Every structure is written in C-alpha cells, then in structure tokens.
Structure 1
Amino acid sequence: MIKLVARTVAIALIFPLTAFSQDLDSLLKMSAFTEESELQKVLNQNLTVSSSKALTTRETPGIISLVTAEEIRNMGARDLTDILRLIPGFDIAQDLQFVMGIGLRGNWANEGKVLVMLDGQPFNDLLYQTVAVGNRFPVDAIERIEIIRGPGSAIYGGSAEYGVINIVTKAAESLNGVAVYGTGGFHSDAVGRTNAGVMLAQKSADLSWDLSFFKGKGIVSDNKAYQDLFQDTVPQNLIKTTSADPMNINVGLRYKGFSLRTMYDQFETSDPFLFISFKNFYTDLRYHWKASPKLTIIPQVKYYNQVPWTWGATLDREKFFNIRATRLLSQLEAVYDISRKINVNFGALYFTDEGTDMLTGDSFRGAKTFQLNNFAFFAQGLLKHRLVNATLGFRYEKNNYYGAAFVPRMALTKKIENFHFKVLYSQAFRAPSIQNINLAKTGSVSPEKSNVFEFELGYQFTPEMLLAVNAFSLTTRDILTYGSEGTGGEDFTEWYENATKTGTRGVEFIYSIRRKSWYANISYSFSHAIKGDETVATYTVPQTTTQYAGMLANKIAINSAFYLTPRFSVNPSFIYGGKRYAYVTADDNDEPVATSLDPYLLANVFFNVNNLFTEGFTAGVGAFDILNEQPSLPQAYNGGYAPIPGRSLEFVVKLSYQLNFKKQ
C-alpha cells in the first residue's frame, strides 16, 4: 500500500513538469528572486495566526496552510469540508446524531482540539468545545483561511491543542462595496443545498463598517435506505429525514483604534429521528492603543451567549436537552518592538463560564447553574537573527475546578534564499469545559496534555515552484473521553474521564506550482497511530493498531486551476483516501462490530466565468464526486452510531456579483 501511494505521489509531482516540458536541471539553476511570481505573492503574505508579529508562511513558527479567496472560488467549494479535505492531515468524521466534526493528523479532534474562528470569534461551544461542520460556514464570503496544522495552545489557550483554523471574511477584510452570492446543489433526485448571502462594507482611513447575512438549507445525505448500527428500525430516506440549515449575521465597526464585532450564528442539523441545534451570539470590543511607536496595548472584552447541542424529537420538537452557556472574558495584551529584530507580546485574561439548565433545572449535579472561573497569563518573544528566527513562549492557566496548566513553546525558523526550515516543539493542552467537568465520572477531571515535535524543510526551485516536507510526532496523555451505559431513561448514565494516552506520528508533503495561467497544489499526508497498551480503547479497532476508528492513514489531494482565458477557468480537484476502519453494525449481543472501509477517489471539476456580461459578475458550474464513490462518514470512536452514508454525485451552480464603491 505504501509503495502504491509513493508511486502515485511521484507521478503527481512529475506530471506538471512533463506536461510543460521543463527540464529539472535548468529549473534548479534559475533564481527565485526575479519579479514576484504568482506563487511568491501567496508565500509572501504576512500572517499573524501563529505569532503576534506578522511573518510570511515560510518563516512563521508553525506548520501553516493558507487558502485564498481565489482558490475557494475556483474549486467551487460547497462548504468548509470541501476545503479541509484538500488540506494535508485534515479529515471529516461523524461525532454523533449526524453531527460532523474535524479529524487532524489521524486523530479525532472535534472536542477542544481544533480551534475554529470566524473573524476572530471562536466557534467551539462552551459545553463540550466541539465545532459542528458541514453545510454551515459561508464559504463564498471568505477572503482567506489561515490554518495551523499543529498546536496553538500557547497563544490561543485550551481549545487549540492540535490546530487552529482562522477564517477571515471579505466584508471584514477587503470588501468596499456590496456583494451577493448564491449556491445550489442538486443530486439526481434531491436538492442537496440552497445557500445565499449578502455583504455590505465601507472602508476608510478612520472609519470602517461591514454587515453580512448568510442563510441556507440543505440535507446531510441523499441516501434512501439508511439503517442505524443496531438495525432495529426500518430503512430511512435521508432526503426526507435530515437537514443542515445554517444562518449567520455578522456586523463589524472600526473607528480609529476602536473595533467592535458582533455576530449571531445558528445551525440546525438532524438524523432520522432527532434534531440538533446550535445557537451562538458573540460580542467583541477591543482598542488598539499605540502608546508609543514601539508599544501597542490592546484591552479587550468579549461576551458569548450560546445554546449548543439542543436536541429533541423531530416529530413534535420536544426538547430533551437545552442548556445555555455564557462567557464573559476580559483581556489585556501588549506588543512591544524592542528593536527591529526583537519583538515580545504578553498579556493576561480572566473569564467566567456559566451553564444554565433551561429544562429540568437540575442537570448540574442537582443544581440549575454551574460556574467556572479561569485565569491565564501568556508571553512570547521573537528574535530575528541572520542565522535563525527564534520564538520562545508559554501560557499558564489556572481554573477553579481542574487546577493549573503550563505549556511552553519553542521554534527555530529561517528562510535562506530559496531554502527554509522549521524546528518546532510545543506542549499543548485541552481545558475541560462545562460538561466535561459536570459529567466527570470520579467527580473531577484534569486537562489533557500533549507533546508535539514538528520539523519542516522546504525549497523553492523556481519562482513558481515550491516543495515542502514536514514530519510530526504527537502524543496526548490524560485524554478526556466520553462514555455511557444503558439504552435510555432512568438506566442511562453518561460521563467523562481521563484515559491514558493517544497520538500519531507522520509526514506531510506539499508541492505547489503557480503560474499566471494555471496552478496546482499537490499534497500527501501519512499518519501512524502510536503503539502501546495504554492507547485509549474507544478510539481503537481490532483489525489494526496503526489507525484509529474512522481516521485516514493515507491521503493524496490535488487542487488545480487552468485559466483558458483571462475570464474562464477549469478547476479539477482529486482526493484519494486510503482504507479506514469503523464500527458499522452490531452483533447478536448488541456489541458494535468494526470492519474496513474501502479506499475512495473523489474527483471534482468546476468551471468559472468571471466578469460575465458585466464587471463583478461571476458564474460557476461543476460536479462533485464524478465517479459516484460516495465515501461514508464513520463515527470517529466506538459510540454506537453507524456511518453517515456519503452523498452521491452533486451538480453545483454558483452565482455572485460584487459592486465596488468608488474610492474617496
């Protein structure tokens, strides 16, 4: 299997060179410091997702992926899952009740391990720290996505143990005008989704404001004969019994150093019998005070009001679980440029989380409410030297329920002409959330702790071509796991507890070639589960010790675009996923039984026409899963849910129009 994958990667790397008759020896002799190429325009974008000091992707202290608005438009992405599947190490799996979550580097990462932010607002819920994905995020409104494929706890705290996804919208970043967009997805006998949105923004030197609205309706799958894991119900038509309906309202205001952002997000999905809804309200007020040319002080206040994971019967809408969670956070941060080559940032924050049972009134160990308090202090320094850039930082957090956590971070990075390297070591943690603490089996739980080593080498062969290879080792101890007993009613109990350890090791290859008339990004990711008797049982399968339930060990992704004319592009993409293992049925004793899932090849193509009829109008049409592979979405642990059947071939139509205001 590994040999087959290696050959496939080799062919994928060689193909663009052969197709355009370029000789490798001549490419190696070319200077990469000519007029800025299309690839260099991407590589030289300054990012702050892994450092307070803006650095390029090749020098920032993290393993970074950057997805631009151009790439999102060209690929015709239906939702965030289409984008993440093209990123090395990322995968999508089922949590429960048809709610989909994120896997990263062969690990289930949905509960507090990947922080997802939209215009600076965290989407991880306060009860469990999960992020439901699927037909949720307004992908056609995105300016760029900055992704850390590695720990971010030292900067972002206890919800970023394995990674960070920072989504920036056009309205908040670049739009100075009005834009509207719409998407329709169609299966052979079902409407897969209908989404639409509008953005309005105006930018000036002192005053900027933006307003966005997004709403959609969709289904989870178009499968017509779904049966649950225990097969004790009649087959269900998921076209009629599932939903994936998003809504988002996003408002921003900036006046000089003051900025305010408020957002309301709602997402409802369902399995054949139960609905699950997430409602989130965010307000973020901050002030960038330029105390001196070298010192910036940023006070900040945030308030979150969420009602996540509300679930109940689909037929009569009776709610079985309904808890409100709030957070009030105050933070003070300072960024100081000691010199042109030395930068430090440090700060402190305090927040209070509170859960309120809005049904029975006794969900919190017999009480209606539950409160936890958290204090944190963080600091990070960056030294830019001619030999190496050195980053050293740490974060200390203390909570009134689970005690203290301390995580250091160290990084050495440097770009030397066409070559770059990164050596990274981080400790990371996942902070127990409201329900993790409330449902603690032994009365208390501890934070998860991870040790992560990462190493990256990259070389820019020509102004248009880059190859980067990274290796990682990730080990998590005291991992928080969910368990339950009983079938429902009074005999049903559920809990969280600290288990032993989990983790993976692996490598990721990225080959990028970008010219004015075409580009291609080719990646291969491999992960191998750690060995040992301590591995958490709920994530394992009996067939292998090298993969966890529901997770990929091998993935190849190719994302490309060919501009046949300045306005018309053809955009093929391919995703090969290797063999997976999952719990798909139950035996005569109602014990879940695992089996292997066949490899799959997702082939997609999207056609785009820019400035059609008039400037600013874009139309696109494409097909997803042309080969009709329909890869299922298995549950990423032994939790009693059969895989979500994959969607069949889906034809997608996209229309958008942007009218820019005249510059004043």
Structure 2
Amino acid sequence: MTFYNRVFLVAACTILCLRTGAQDLDSLMNLNAFTAESDLQKILNQRVAVSSKNGLTTRETPGIVSVISSEEIRNSGARDLGDLLRLVPGFDVLQDLQFVTGIGLRGSWANEGKVLVMLDGHPMNELLYQTVALGNRFPIDAISRIEIIRGPGSATYGGSAEYGVINIVTQAAESLNGVAVYATGGFHAQATGRTNAGVMVGQKGQDLSWDFSVFAGKGIVSDGKYQDLFQNGEVQDLSKVTSSDPTNINAGIRYKGLSFRGMYDRYETSDPITSVSNKGFYADLHYDWQVNKKLTIVPQIKYYNQLPWSYGDRETGETQFKVRATRFLSQVETRYAISRKASVTAGAIYFQDQGKDLLNGDLFNGEQSLRLSNFAFYGEGLFKHRLANATVGFRYEKNNRYGAAFVPRIAVTKKIENLHFKILYSQAFRAPSIQNINIALNGSVKPEKSDVFEFEVGYQFTPQMLFAVNAFVITTRDVLIYGSEGEGESFNEWYENYARSGSKGFEAIYNVRGKWWYGTVTYSYSTAGKNTVTTYEVPGQSQYVGFAKNKVTLNTNFQLLKQLSFNPSLVYASRRFAYQSIDENGEPVIGEMQPYLLVNAFLHYTNVLPGLSVGAGAYDIANQRPGIPEAYNGGYAPIPGRSREYVVKLSYQLDFKK
C-alpha cells in the first residue's frame, strides 16, 4: 500500500466516523448548546504559546501540537525525557557519537539543529553543533508541562527549529508556591541504573515572584554488554564503563513586568573509551512593557557561555577537545491587539556567536577564535473569522558567513463545535553553527531549508473522547551532513550540503478520559522521501537508518483509590535497520533489528502522609532490551538496550499558603 493510499484510507475512516456522529458541518455551525467542560476539554482548551505568539488553544493553534501535563508525567513514572518522547507520535531516541543520545522525529535524524529544546525559556541546543543530548539529563519530576510542536518552528524560533520544538516548563518557574523535594532510583538486576534528586522552592505574588531549584544525579548509559562495530576491543560491561550524570541549577525572579532567569547546566556522559561533557550558563533579562491594553513591547537580553562536547580519554582524563562558545543576544518584540479578531507580533534580533579554542589554539584554521554575527526580523499576524482562523508569518535572518535565509508560514485552522481542522504550510531552515562553518568542506556551507505541508482533522465525539489524524510531507534541501575519514593523525572531518532529504507520513491520536481513568492511543507511520544522503539511506528500503516505519503507543491510567493510581503503558516499533557489523573490507554493513514491544507499569500513591507521595514501577517488563542504533553511518554499533529496570520515586511538597 502506497503512502498516499494509507493517507486516503485514514482520512476516509475519519470522515466516516464524523458522519457516524450524525452531525455534518452545517449542523455543527448552527449548534448553540454545548456540553459542560470535561477534564479532556480543559486540557484541549489550554492556550499553547509554543506554536504561536498569539496563544491559541491546542485544537486551533497553527501547529501539530502535543501537551504533556504534570499529572501524566507523575502518573507515568517516566525515568527521563526519552520515556516521555517515545509516547509522543513521531518521536524516537537514537544514538549520536560517543554514546550521546538524541532526537529523531517523523522518520528523520533531527538532533543537530532540527529540534529546538527549551527549559524555562533557555534553549538547550549547544552553540557548536546545535545538538541536544538526552539520556539521564532533565529533571523529569520537576516538570509542570511539556509543549511540543511536531512540525517546523523556524518562523517563530529561528534556525534551530526546522523540524520541531519542545518547550519544558518546570513547576518552580510555573506554579510552585512552597518547597518540594524529590528523588528517583532505578535498579537493574546487576546494576544501579540511576540515582537522581532535586529540591525546588518558589513563591508567587501579584508583583513579586521568585524560584530556585537544584537537580543532580548519577546514572549509566546501559547495563548491557557491548562489542564495538569493528570488533577491535574486548566486550565491555557498560554498567562499569559508562556514565550519565546531570546537574542543573535554575533560578528566576520577577517584579511586575521585569523578569530575570539564570541557569547552569552540566551533563557528563561516556562510552567505553571517551568521556563527554556539556556545560553551559544562561542568563535572560526581559521586560514586558504594557504600553496600553492593546500594545505590549518586550525588550530582551540573553547571554550564553558554554563548554559543549568537551571530550577526552575516559581513563586518563586527558582532554582532546575543549572550546568555549558564547552568544550575546538582544531582541525587541512588539505585540499589538488590533481588535478582538486580529493581532500582530513583530520583532528584531541581533546576536553574536563566538567559538574560542581552549587547548592548542589552532582549531579555527590557525586562529584561536571564530566570530559570527546575525540579525533577524520576524512577524506574525492572526486573523479570526467565523469560518476559519488565518495565521501568516515570516522570518528573515542574515549571517556574516553563510548569508541569508527567508522562511514564510501560512496556516488555516478552526474549531467548529466538536470538529477541528488545520491546513499548514511552512518553510523552515537550519542555520549553520560555529563548527559547521569552521570545518565546512571547501570553506563554505549553506543554510539547510525545508518545505513542510501538514493537514490535521479531529473530532470530539463526547466531552471525554477525541480522535485526530494528521498527514505531513517534509522536503529538505541543502542538507547539512557531517563527514569524516581516517584515524589518528590522518583523521579528517567536515560538513557539506547534500541535495535533498525528507520524509512523509501520518499520525493518529485517540484520547479518552473518564472520571477514574484515562487513556491515549497513538499510531505513527513515516517513510523516507527522495533522498541523496547516502549515510542515512537503507538500500532497497523506504526508511532511514535507525528508524521504524510504524510505531504504536498506549498510555493509560486507572485511579484504583482516591490517592492510588496505576499507569500501564506500552510502545511498539516495527523493524529497524542499523550498522551492526563489517564486511571483509572492513566497511560497516547494515543489518536488520527486530520489532520490539516495551511494556511498562507504575503505581503512584499521593499523600501517604500530608505532602508525601511515593511511586514504584518497572520498565521493559518483558525484558526485550531494544538497542539504540546510530542514525547514520558513524562507526558505532547499536547501544545494547537496558534490561528491566525497577523504579522507585519519592516526593514531598510543603505549600506556603497552608
């Protein structure tokens, strides 16, 4: 069955379901009565800022959006961000270099500058390569909600959001008015998987609010046995030779319209040979100047100081690569409400990036540093009509080294009683970063650009039940690709533009919530588009290295008692392909990885004692241990999957008001 036949079949089923609901479009537009707002509707009617500066609800916002609430995070017992992303349509976790894991989205490797990840407004993408390391990194038990765009965000967020955006908001920054402490332990049969803990304190007032949080932990990448791709070394017990250790300190203060936030983040990880460190400091100062009821002006200053991808010998500690990357950014944004049905947002940005070699000083073609200068203009208008909402936006950005990029955005969305639809077209770009430019083949690279078409239709059959399906086609040109050859003194690496890549597919979500239970079922299907990037392709197959064509997830929760909940979940992925061995010439060979079914379960008991909650569960109950393959031909065999992990969680919260 072809891709278009699959899309037609799903769309036909959706239309049939809508007709079965005995309400056509005309009758829906004429309905006056509507049911009382259910728990599901409260979630759907949240205003989501991540996909639009104008903050529409999830069913009308101009993007394909997922929102994960604190309730769902707490009930799921998720160990890390990867556990949560696997439950979201289109997302997967794959391997980069040195056992660092990153994001795959809609069938494509998206970790290097294609997905923007923000934590309380701080972009977690490092400045050298624009990657985001996952693993045992983010303070999962401190999160208030996660807003996700499964689609382009460049018109709003710039050159790090070509395929998607993940916006993480912590409880301390969002809603905490008291003190909270939490701890997590993960245990395999023969090893300790992780020990994490954190403390948060915050006070919210009408004029003055502040928050402070600390999160730290220790973990391993896996407890499996690993043989390198070229079989040059001994089989390694990864529980003894890998690490995954996070530290995060986060503080913010707001007085009326003036806000400041500072953050220090460190993530240390390793493979059997090499240790890798990502450190960064971030500061943000901005002022929401409410000129009048219609006009708001927001000047903003940001500063980044990072030591990303510092690596060296795991045993000796000798550092082989150490670069300081900094950014100073200034921005002014204007928001104007023309009327109840029309509003516009516009802004201007200027920022400078600099990379400085902290070792031998000749990394940047004989120079000690490399400096980049950028300026950008962006705008977005929202126009509401009884038939549809129209969103029109653009972004223009120019860099002193790689030139200019212009991307438009057009969206038509509407919720008409129980029915909603979205028709979306966006261009998006991936801006070359410091190292992309520094080691560019022949001295220059272009911005990567994508055309993305998306369509979504959804229907709320009852106040407790919603079904939605979306289709997408992504075409990426001038694809930025890393290449390398040789070893030791003869090692050479570079970046270059390939002609094209991309993917196409569809995603479906069925969400139902009762008084004492809820459940979400998702299905994702993606195939490779026209592709010239050889390091991604699987010969004879319409999918990229490391990715499954089909993914099914189920996340359910049952309130067994008023304070006790039970949360079973599962993730199924069809077969994948990965570089797993070498041929007689020493060249990596692609092999097939079998489908897997992850089955997880978690029990959570709230207020065992006043303010004290406990939870316990197991991940990968069937002990299938799905491996984590590299998303390209990078010289690494798949990381062996973790064995069954037993998880225990404790949290205590004291509310200042009480």
User: Shorter-normalised TM-score: what interval?
Assistant: over 0.9
Cα separation, 2, equivalents of 1:26 and 1:384: 27
Kindly tell me: are residues 128 and 653 of structure 1, through their superposed partners in 2, closer, same or farther at Cα, counting changes over 3 Å? same
Matched residue SS, 1:432: coil
Cα separation, 2, equivalents of 1:630 and 1:183: 21
Using the size of structure 2 for normalisation, the TM-score is 0.96
2:593 maps to what in 1?
597
1:84 aligns with 2:79: no
1:422 aligns with 2:419: no
Contact 1:27 1:461 in 2 (8 A): no
Matched residue SS, 1:359: coil
Query: CA deviation digits over 1:95-146, x for unaligned, max 9?
Result: 1110000000000000000000000000001000000001000000000000
Cα separation, 1, equivalents of 2:495 and 2:318: 26
Matched residue SS, 2:48: coil
Kindly tell me: are residues 270 and 392 of structure 1, through their superposed partners in 2, closer, same or farther at Cα, counting changes over 3 Å? same
Q: Which amino acid aligns with 2:177?
A: N
Matched residue SS, 1:34: coil
Contact 1:333 1:346 in 2 (8 A): yes
1:133 maps to what in 2?
134
Matches within 5 A, 1:448-463: 448-463=448-463
Query: CA deviation digits over 1:72-114, x for unaligned, max 9?
Result: 0000000000000000000000011100000000000000000
Question: Alpha-carbon deviation of 1:54?
Answer: 1.7
Cα separation, 2, equivalents of 1:26 and 1:135: 48
Cα separation, 1, equivalents of 2:264 and 2:34: 45
Cα separation, 2, equivalents of 1:187 and 1:27: 52
Question: Alpha-carbon deviation of 1:586?
Answer: 1.2
Matches within 5 A, 1:605-624: 605-614=601-610, 616-624=611-619
Q: Which of 599, 602, 621 lines up with 1:626 in the alignment?
A: 621
Q: Which amino acid aligns with 2:267?
A: F
Question: Alpha-carbon deviation of 1:657?
Answer: 0.7
Contact 1:452 1:472 in 2 (8 A): yes
1:527 maps to what in 2?
526
Cα separation, 2, equivalents of 1:250 and 1:440: 35
Cα separation, 1, equivalents of 2:436 and 2:401: 11
Question: Alpha-carbon deviation of 1:452?
Answer: 0.0
Matched residue SS, 1:33: coil
1:436 aligns with 2:433: no
Matched residue SS, 1:83: helix
Contact 1:91 1:552 in 2 (8 A): no
Contact 2:46 2:57 in 1 (8 A): yes
Q: Which of 631, 641, 644 lines up with 1:646 in the alignment?
A: 641
Cα separation, 2, equivalents of 1:590 and 1:487: 14
1:563 aligns with 2:559: yes
2:121 maps to what in 1?
120
1:542 maps to what in 2?
539
Cα separation, 2, equivalents of 1:529 and 1:662: 54
1:497 maps to what in 2?
496
Question: Alpha-carbon deviation of 1:488?
Answer: 1.7
Matched residue SS, 2:226: coil
Cα separation, 2, equivalents of 1:69 and 1:329: 31
1:587 maps to what in 2?
583
1:347 aligns with 2:347: yes
Query: CA deviation digits over 1:444-500, x for unaligned, max 9?
Result: 0000010000000000000000000000000100000000010122x1100000011
Contact 1:257 1:289 in 2 (8 A): yes
Cα separation, 2, equivalents of 1:617 and 1:456: 42
Question: Alpha-carbon deviation of 1:551?
Answer: 1.2
Cα separation, 2, equivalents of 1:99 and 1:662: 42
Cα separation, 1, equivalents of 2:470 and 2:46: 20
2:148 maps to what in 1?
147
Question: Alpha-carbon deviation of 1:33?
Answer: 2.7
Matches within 5 A, 1:480-495: 480-489=480-489, 491-495=490-494
Cα separation, 1, equivalents of 2:443 and 2:344: 40
1:20 maps to what in 2?
none
Query: CA deviation digits over 1:476-534, x for unaligned, max 9?
Result: 00000000010122x11000000111111100000000112000010000001113xx5
Query: CA deviation digits over 1:38-62, x for unaligned, max 9?
Result: 1011101111111111211000000
2:54 maps to what in 1?
53
Contact 2:226 2:237 in 1 (8 A): yes
Q: Which amino acid aligns with 1:193?
A: R
Question: Alpha-carbon deviation of 1:588?
Answer: 2.2
Matches within 5 A, 1:245-394: 245-394=245-394
Matched residue SS, 1:364: coil
Matched residue SS, 1:239: helix
Q: Which amino acid aligns with 1:214?
A: F
1:105 aligns with 2:106: yes
Contact 1:39 1:513 in 2 (8 A): yes
Question: Alpha-carbon deviation of 1:542?
Answer: 2.1
Q: Which amino acid aligns with 2:354?
A: E
2:17 maps to what in 1?
none
Cα separation, 1, equivalents of 2:407 and 2:569: 39
Cα separation, 2, equivalents of 1:65 and 1:232: 44
Cα separation, 1, equivalents of 2:483 and 2:21: 58
2:16 maps to what in 1?
none
Q: Which amino acid aligns with 2:586?
A: D
Question: Alpha-carbon deviation of 1:192?
Answer: 0.2
Q: Which amino acid aligns with 1:103?
A: G
Cα separation, 2, equivalents of 1:497 and 1:27: 53
2:174 maps to what in 1?
173
Contact 2:21 2:461 in 1 (8 A): no
Query: CA deviation digits over 1:540-563, x for unaligned, max 9?
Result: 12241x100011211001111000
Contact 1:393 1:408 in 2 (8 A): yes
Question: Alpha-carbon deviation of 1:613?
Answer: 2.2
Q: Which amino acid aligns with 1:516?
A: K
2:97 maps to what in 1?
96
Cα separation, 2, equivalents of 1:295 and 1:338: 9
Matched residue SS, 1:193: strand
Contact 1:274 1:311 in 2 (8 A): yes
Question: Alpha-carbon deviation of 1:35?
Answer: 1.9
Question: Alpha-carbon deviation of 1:587?
Answer: 1.5
Contact 1:513 1:520 in 2 (8 A): yes
2:511 maps to what in 1?
512
Matched residue SS, 1:612: strand
Matched residue SS, 2:584: coil
Is there any run of 5+ residues in structure 1 with no aligned partner, and where? 14-23
Question: Alpha-carbon deviation of 1:535?
Answer: 2.2
Question: Alpha-carbon deviation of 1:2?
Answer: 10
Q: Which amino acid aligns with 1:535?
A: T
Question: Alpha-carbon deviation of 1:27?
Answer: 12
Question: Alpha-carbon deviation of 1:591?
Answer: 0.4
Matched residue SS, 2:82: helix
Cα separation, 2, equivalents of 1:418 and 1:26: 12
Cα separation, 2, equivalents of 1:146 and 1:624: 24
Query: What CA RMSD, in Å, does the superposition of the two structures yield over aligned residues?
Result: 1.9
Q: Which amino acid aligns with 1:236?
A: Q
Kindly tell me: are residues 27 and 626 of structure 1, through their superposed partners in 2, closer, same or farther at Cα, counting changes over 3 Å? farther
Cα separation, 2, equivalents of 1:543 and 1:337: 53
Matched residue SS, 2:442: coil
Q: Which runs of 4+ in 1 moved over 4 A?
A: 24-32
Query: CA deviation digits over 1:302-321, x for unaligned, max 9?
Result: 00000000000011100000
Query: CA deviation digits over 1:15-37, x for unaligned, max 9?
Result: xxxxxxxxx87999999932211
Cα separation, 2, equivalents of 1:138 and 1:523: 25
Is there any run of 5+ residues in structure 2 with no aligned partner, and where? 14-19
* Percentage of identical aligned residues: 64
Contact 1:148 1:165 in 2 (8 A): yes
Matched residue SS, 1:538: coil
Q: Which amino acid aligns with 1:540?
A: E
2:244 maps to what in 1?
244
